[in-house]
A and B are shown apart, each in its own frame.
Chain A
Amino acid sequence: MGITRDARPSLPPAVVSQDNRLRRTSESKDRRARQTIFVAGAQTVAALVFLAPIVWMYVASLRPDLDIRSGNLVPTRVSLDNFVHLFELDIVPQAFLNSAIIAAFSSVIVTTVSTLSAYALSRFRFRGRGFTHGFLLAGQLVPGLVVLVPIIVAFRQLGLADSLVGLTIAHLTLGLPIAVLLLRNYLAEIPVALEEAAIVDGCSRVGALFRIVLPLLRPALVAVTAFSFILSWGEYVVALSLITTDDKKTLPLSMQYLFQLYGVDLGVVMAFGVIISLPVAVLFMFIQRSFVSNLGTGGIKE
């Protein structure tokens, strides 16, 4: 918009009129500032009302059971007792470990595999490219619930039921299609000329991928890995169907188990909710920018 800025009329030379003009702009600036503050306030209030259930959970996790039950919304006694109590239960650290292992392995595999295929889809022209693309995205179109029964039946026959390996494998489908889609969008924005130059300079195709493309792709790789991690971390129905042994339970299953045992103590259950959701929320805050901006570029043409 350089032209319009240059073409903006300069201030008139007469001192009186310049004085008026300044006063007028400062008045409208004041009004606009007041308006902006009002809108900012409205946005904050709307977000707080919207997030109230989550805020309530975080506050409740710090309060004794008795205080929450009193129905009084303002906390009077605040402590980390619920969290201490929570980690004294054997199932909690175990579930934390199980979920972390499953989510870490499945998300790293998803990112690796989808980076390779997104790269081929965006850089090579080959027979069957359209088919491959459609095939990979079909994963997104088939709902998990529809394939739940056949997957559980097959996993039982293959000896993958009630095993962390089995659940890790089952979680691979969660993030894969969206990862391929996002990485392909990112790759489309990286100029091919960079790799061409590297290859002309004697770099191999794989070398160009590792030395040129992957470093440029890093924000997308982080976002995709984190997103797959988040999906696996909170996955419920497949875990519920596959896992039966207590020490193999993931966090969502353990929270349910804990509620059945300690349902009476609201504070402890809410503390478990915080333990499960806080890592995910923090992780998302890191990738939020690249994720939201990618959603944005999808909507904007040119």
Chain B
Amino acid sequence: MSLALRLAGGRFRREFGGTNPWYYVTPAMVIVGLLTIAPLLYGIYLSFTNWSLNSSAAPQLEGVSAYRVVLSDSAFWDNLVRTIAWTVGTVVVEIVIAVPFALLLNIRTSVTGVVTGFIMIPWITPFVVLSYAWLFLYDGQSGPLHAFMQAIGLVGDSTPLASPTAALWSIILISGWKGIPFLTIALLATLKSIPTELYEAGSIDGAGRWKSFRSITLPLVRPTLGAMCVVLGVQAFYSFDLVWILTQGGPGSSSTILGIQLFQTFFTQASPGQAAALGTLMLLLALVLIVPILRATSRRT
């Protein structure tokens, strides 16, 4: 900060108190503190209580019994495997569509601006709305998407959402679809930052399109791709809305991911203690999953 500002600041601090930074940051810190940090700590406290609304009105510390209950339940492990499949599936759908999409939109034409604006719509449309739109697209009687999938032999007569084998992946498709715009835009920004001189140099050295994609574009895009996959993967790991609205985890438990289990433990079983333990476990699990991915992507760059 320059001398003039510091001098002026000194004068006005005395007159108005206008340069005390804590006046500026305190409101935001109170909000984050009360609505994020404090609940996080309170949740950890609750997870050590095994508090159930059926048996007691107030939480009491009971050590790790809530964790023991959650971890000894085989349903938890099934749901964990399903959540990992869900997370990986979502990110794969996002990458497979977003990479070619970004490459296509990186070529500047008269419609590029409009198209880039419009493809963001799924990303900002509320989950509830998307859920019902897809619910009818998948409908066994009149859903056009179901008709198409049935024609190519992917699904049977009824909606894939009612099938124990198809429910999970048919929601993964929606989950991935919603994340595509975000990844596309991030990739597009990176693609635009690659200097054209690199491609010119490449073509002088005799590199074809495929070669220059593999040895120029891909290495330069990879850090963004890695970082975005972590962001989108974490988001997918904590999913709830889509699955809850479409199947509530069913049929049976064939689409129950951990977010669904947490909600059911809290509301259906009325066990805040166990639900808090599950929440804490999910936080730890995400950390365990993120660290190796981050390490792998940062090593490459």
In the complex, 17 of the A-B residue pairs with CB atoms within 8 angstroms, ordered by the A residue number, are A47-B118, A56-B137, A112-B27, A116-B25, A138-B32, A143-B238, A145-B259, A150-B46, A173-B32, A205-B19, A234-B128, A235-B126, A236-B240, A277-B125, A277-B129, A299-B186, A300-B189
Chain B residue nearest to A126 in the complex (CB): B21
Taking Cβ atoms with an 8 Å cutoff, the residues of A that contact B are 36-37, 39-40, 42-44, 46-47, 50-51, 53-54, 56-57, 60, 68-71, 73, 112-114, 116-117, 119-121, 123-126, 129, 132, 135-136, 138-139, 142-154, 169-170, 172-173, 176-177, 180, 192-193, 195-196, 199-200, 204-206, 230, 233-237, 241, 251-252, 255-256, 259, 266, 269-270, 273, 276-277, 280-281, 284-285, 288-289, 292, 295-296, 298-301
Cα A129 to Cα B119 in complex, Å, equals: 38
Q: Roughly how many angstroms separate A124 CA and B130 CA in the complex, as a whole number?
A: 44
Q: Does the CB pair A151–B4 fall under 8 Å?
A: no
- 8 Å CB contact of B190 from A192, A266, A299: A299
Given the known interface contacts A120-B21, A256-B128, A296-B189, the answer about A270 and B35 at a Cβ–Cβ threshold of 8 Å is no
Report whether A276 and B128 are in contact in the complex, using a CB–CB cutoff of 8 Å. Answer: yes
Chain B interface residue number, banded: 35 or more
B157-210, CB < 8 A from A? 177, 180, 185-186, 188-190, 192-193
Chain B residues in the interface with A (C-beta under 8 A): 1-2, 4-5, 8-9, 12, 15-16, 18-19, 21-25, 27-29, 31-33, 35-37, 39-40, 42-43, 46, 97, 101, 104-105, 107, 109-112, 115-122, 124-130, 132-134, 136-137, 141-142, 144-145, 147, 177, 180, 185-186, 188-190, 192-193, 224, 234, 237-238, 240-241, 244-245, 259, 262-263, 266-267, 272, 275-276, 279-280, 282-283, 286
Contacts A234-B128, A273-B133 given: A136-B29 contact, CB under 8 Å? yes
Q: Which residue of A lies closest to B135 (CB)?
A: A259
Asked, given contacts A47-B119, A301-B193, whether A145 binds B262 with beta carbons under 8 Å apart, the answer is yes
Q: Are A176 and B32 in touch, CB under 8 angstroms?
A: yes
- What 4 A-B pairs are tightest by C-beta distance, nearest first? A234-B126, A120-B24, A205-B18, A40-B109
Contacts A145-B259, A146-B43 hold; do A296 and B192 have CB atoms under 8 A apart? Answer: yes
Contact B121 A51 (CB under 8 A): yes
Starting from the known contacts A117-B27, A146-B280, 20 additional A-B residue pairs (CB-CB under 8 Å) come to A53-B145, A54-B122, A69-B142, A120-B24, A135-B37, A144-B238, A153-B42, A173-B35, A177-B32, A195-B5, A199-B9, A200-B4, A200-B8, A234-B126, A234-B127, A235-B126, A252-B128, A266-B142, A284-B120, A299-B186
Q: Is the interface of A mostly helix, strand, loop or mixed?
A: helix
Q: How far is the CA of A288 from the CA of B117 in the complex (A)?
A: 7
Kindly state the separation between the CA atoms of A258 and B118 in the bound complex, as whole angstroms. 28
- State whether A139 touches B32 (Cβ < 8 A): yes
Nearest residue (CB) in B for A202 is B8
